[in-house]
Chains A and B, each alone.
Chain A
Amino acid sequence: MKNQFSVLGSQFSAADRSVRSTRACLPLILILMLSTPAFTQANPIALKNAKLLTVTHGVIENGTVVMQGGKITAVGAAASVTIPANAQLIDASGMTIYPGLIDSETNLGLTEISAEEMTNDLVEMSDEIMPHMHTAEAFHAESALIPVARFNGITNAIVAPASGDTLPGQDSFIQLAGANASEMLLIRDNAMPLNFTGDERRNKGGFEKRKFPSTRMGLAAQLRQAFIDAQDYKTKWTEYERKKTEAAQSQNNKDKKPEPTPPKRDLKLEALLPYLEGKKTIVLAAESPSDLQTAVSLANEFKLKFVLNHIAHSQPVLDYVASLKVPVIVGPIYESPKEDERYDAVYSLPAQLQKRGVKIVFASYDAHNVRNLPYQAGFATAFGLPYEEALKAITLNAAEIWGVADQLGSLDVGKTANVVVANGDPLDVKTDVKQVFIQGKAVPMTDRQTQLRDEYSK
């Protein structure tokens, strides 16, 4: 088992230094939309003679990728690519190279051992309306789960609070390598789940234990009130700003206007404002057709910009879903069908949506099993999803939905060098990922599990 990286192992050993030491010797400052300064590569690297799955411009059978300064600087047929003189050359013959995979909903960094409560920071259940919870502030960069996910080529992910509340808090968009949380948290508060599946009801444990909202009408009323309160809050602040400006302008006038008193700050309502203003994305989760339509009405009532999430049991209304012209995070496609659904109802959902022109992305909705993300994309192809679309759904589509398509999601010049080298088809469960590059740097292909493997293989 030690020799499992034999194909590439020797070349990569030089680059296999720890993330931290690289950070120490490379204090770069790159002001990008993704604010990730320090984690980057030292020398150019050229991966030669591999099959390239570019995602944007097809498959290149015998291609070369050059990475420099954390970016992809060349992609193309081996014969046409000029390799910088100082580049480290890696012969990747027989390998398949593809962009780092993106998981569109995980709980990475929010949990370690599911059953051990003290290791969980998944969702604050004390109230439903918790938009001021920031997953970025709980994100545990040293989680042993992150290298395990990375091991299978997942380089970026959404970190979302677990479901449980209608508004459980705000997501982060992370990179699965970095010296610390700051380096890994590429975008904080990039989006916010709004869950409307019925599971959010506080109706568990009999009537005596119920509290508001214990019904769907309760959930909806509470959400509506929260958004109306936020609108009022915004009006108050706008009014305050106006009066403040007037006061400043009238300072030297005779009829000097009084300095207004600022409204009391309310973190909950404040957190809702960028969403009410359509500046950030709501991730709207529902399962059944009726919940879906109620949730969409609510979102439309407040002109929220949204993507759909889950909708695992909404097969009867997929044309309606398509008419909304919003992307859908599908899955988990392994979820059991409901009693009256076909055995393959959930499996075929990605294909059914894609056929209707809906942009889809996949999510693991998990932390420990993020590494299996590509396999569900592959499995969806067995139920009619075209292969290229399956690959896009865990690369480019995800980058587009999360607003980072200029940086991630394909093998294109100028993009961040998040690149995976594997011995075959990325969506097949048999495929062995040989090396993962994040920002052009070979990340160590080790984790707690490889350490245990090696220790007990002696």
Chain B
Amino acid sequence: MRFMSKRKHPLLILCLTIMSALASAQSAAPTDIIIRNAIVMTATHGTIPNGSVWIRNGKIFAVGDTINVPPNSNLTFIDAGGKYLTPGIIDSHSHIALDDDVNEATSPVTPQMMMKDAFDYQDKAIYRALAGGVTTSLLLHGSANMIGGQAVVIKHKYGATRDELLFPNAPRSIKFASGENPKRVYGSRDQLPSTRMGNFAVQRQALVEAQDYMREWDSYNEKIKRGDKDSKDATPPKRDLKLEALADVLRGKLMVQIHIYRADEMLTEIAMAKEFGYKIRAFHHALEAYKVADQLAANNIAIATFSDWWGYKQEAWDAIPWNAVMAMRKGVRVAIKSDSEDFNRRLNQEAAKAIRYGGATEEEALKMITINPAWIVGVDDRVGSIDVGKDADLVIWDGYPLSSYGVPEKVLIDGEVYFDRQQPGLGTTHYKEGE
């Protein structure tokens, strides 16, 4: 592993050995784990004051205040010691583990970029976010391009193999952008786009080309399907990865995630989506969502926003910390996301700000970092709440999670402990706490 070659300390290697031994032991046989004596915050159906969660084969098998354990069963117990248990945090906007390959900023339209191809599964940022309770992240292309690349969804199983970190069969997402970033990147090179009208013209042009491409292929496929004499002479159109990706947007096979700040641009993007017949999954950043929340709700567009970050650029000047709750009250699905290696280590605190700014309930705030971002990523049927049948991605918290004080004690993914505050093996160094 890359970082191991840099490290000399035996402690780290020892910890890795333990982790991998643990992993192989657990994958060998079906395992049952019961986390008991926990305050279970389910995110979907309230809080169970003295609850237990039964994990079988990495999935949540039972949840409740009492779980009847069959006699003679081979169970492992984790005593949560009366602490809080929540679903693993889902970060619906992240650029970690891409080794700075976030923006292919050489053309404003690059939908053929696959973030998976840049994914650095050994990046310690994955572990640090895990230590903050994050179990799933959507790694997005950057916002330099009007149409960026296709995202990769990961589970934060730090220390496992690359493929084990990839969220299995996650739906595909593509990143669009708008506003200042594409303007600045291409405008500074005297290229199109350098204005917002330029931005949208570039986007529309790409979509028009995609429509033509889609028609060519549809017509070809239709001929082949008919199997008449025409079909024998039919030559397939030339494949173009860029247009193929955009055609998938038009076909509804790619979820559209748009980096956007201003309310007027949100309305333009909604109109554009209608013009070309695709759906927008979520507006990201969306700091002015509170101004057009009704329209977002009517179009079933979620937002992935910051809690209170503002003023870093002109289009973030009207940001208000009440944005999340104001949009939520109008029926918008709201997620708090990180977009940084700082916020993704304490998204629970960021979600708690929804209580302070606007009076969200505990469960509403928790949803903003669990089930709501899971919906944005398209994996809400598998993660994002403590419900039977879902992946056992769970966090035991030291302290109340929706406060300044909550920090993860243990983080489980698919029923395995990947972070333990008492033994923070991975990511250690020669410096030992208390020395």
Contact = CB atoms under 8 A, between A and B. Distances in A.
A42 interface: no
Given A345-B431, A452-B320, A116 B404 contact: no
A337 interface: yes
Contacts of A430: 352-353, 355-356, 402-403
Interface size class of B (residues with CB under 8 A): 35 or more
B320 A453 contact: yes
Contacts of A337: 128, 427
A344 interface: yes
B77 interface: no
B178 to A, nearest CB: 16
Most B-side CB within 10 Å, residue of A342, A348, A430: A430
Contacts of A374: 404
A429 B342 contact: no
A456 B404 contact: no
A382 B398 contact: yes
A212 interface: no
Contact of B356 (A315, A336, A432, A449): A432
A315 B128 contact: no
Contacts of B356: 429-432
Interface string A337-360: 101111111001000000000000
B431 A429 contact: no
A268 to B, nearest CB: 33
A116 B310 CA distance: 13
Nearest to B3: A339
A18 interface: no
B314 A336 contact: no
Interface in A109-151: 112-116, 145
A379 B312 contact: no
A113 B313 contact: yes
A1 B291 contact: no
Interface string A367-378: 111011011001
A290 to B, nearest CB: 15
Contacts of A457: 326
Contacts of B430: 316, 340
B402 A342 contact: no
Nearest to A114: B312
B17 to A, nearest CB: 19
Contact of B424 (A145, A334, A343, A368): A343
Most A-side CB within 10 Å, residue of B127, B406, B433: B433
B331 interface: no
A114 B313 CA distance: 6
A115 B405 contact: no
Classify the interface of chain B: helix, strand, loop or mixed: loop
Given A4-B359, A343-B427, A379-B349, A428 B403 contact: yes
Given A429-B356, A453-B320, A115 B314 contact: yes
A381 interface: yes
A427 interface: yes
B318 interface: yes
A167 to B, nearest CB: 27
A113 B320 contact: no
B329 to A, nearest CB: 9
A335 interface: yes
Interface string B424-435: 100111110100
Given A378-B404, A381-B405, A430-B356, A145 B311 contact: yes
Contact of B433 (A113, A342, A368): A342
A1 B433 contact: no
Contacts of B346: 334, 379
Interface in B227-266: none
A436 to B, nearest CB: 15
Interface in B320-342: 320-322, 326, 341-342
A372 B399 CA distance: 19
Most A-side CB within 10 Å, residue of B6, B127, B180, B314: B314
B101 to A, nearest CB: 18
A336 B342 contact: yes
Contacts, number: 126
Most A-side CB within 10 Å, residue of B3, B403, B407: B403
B313 A427 contact: no
Interface in A360-401: 367-369, 371-372, 374-375, 378-379, 381-383
A293 to B, nearest CB: 17
B308 interface: yes
A4 B310 CA distance: 22
Most B-side CB within 10 Å, residue of A339, A381, A432, A449: A449
A340 B128 contact: no
Contacts of B358: 1
B15 to A, nearest CB: 12
Given A382-B398, A456-B291, A368 B310 contact: yes
Contacts of B403: 378, 428-430
Contacts of A431: 356
Contact of A342 (B291, B319, B345, B427): B427
Nearest to B398: A382
A374 B404 CA distance: 9
A114 B180 CA distance: 13
Contact of A375 (B290, B318, B349, B427): B349
B124 A339 contact: yes
Given A369-B309, A456-B326, A341 B429 contact: yes
A449 B431 contact: no
A453 B309 contact: no
A345 B434 CA distance: 11
B421 to A, nearest CB: 8
A379 B406 CA distance: 8
Contacts of B399: 382
A453 B322 contact: yes
Most B-side CB within 10 Å, residue of A315, A340, A428, A457: A340
A153 to B, nearest CB: 12
A107 to B, nearest CB: 11
Contacts of A112: 311
Contacts of A316: 430-431
B310 A343 contact: no
Given A342-B431, A343-B127, A430-B352, A115 B326 contact: no
Contacts of A369: 308-309
A432 B353 CA distance: 10
Nearest to A431: B356
A342 B312 contact: no
B146 interface: no
Contacts of A145: 311
Interface string B402-430: 11111100000000000000001001111
In the complex, the 4 A-B pairs of residues with the closest C-beta atoms, listed nearest first: A378-B404, A115-B313, A368-B311, A449-B320
Interface of A: 1, 4, 112-116, 145, 315-316, 334-337, 339-345, 348, 367-369, 371-372, 374-375, 378-379, 381-383, 427-432, 449-450, 452-453, 456-457
28 contacts: A113-B313, A113-B314, A114-B311, A114-B312, A334-B346, A335-B342, A336-B125, A339-B3, A340-B6, A340-B430, A341-B429, A341-B431, A342-B424, A343-B427, A344-B424, A345-B431, A368-B309, A378-B403, A383-B407, A429-B353, A430-B353, A449-B310, A449-B321, A452-B290, A452-B318, A452-B320, A453-B322, A456-B291
Interface of B: 3, 6-7, 124-125, 127-128, 131, 180, 290-291, 308-314, 316-322, 326, 341-342, 345-346, 349, 352-353, 355-356, 358-359, 398-399, 402-407, 424, 427-431, 433
Given A340-B6, A344-B424, A368-B310, 10 more contacts: A114-B312, A115-B180, A334-B345, A335-B342, A348-B433, A379-B405, A381-B404, A429-B403, A449-B320, A457-B326
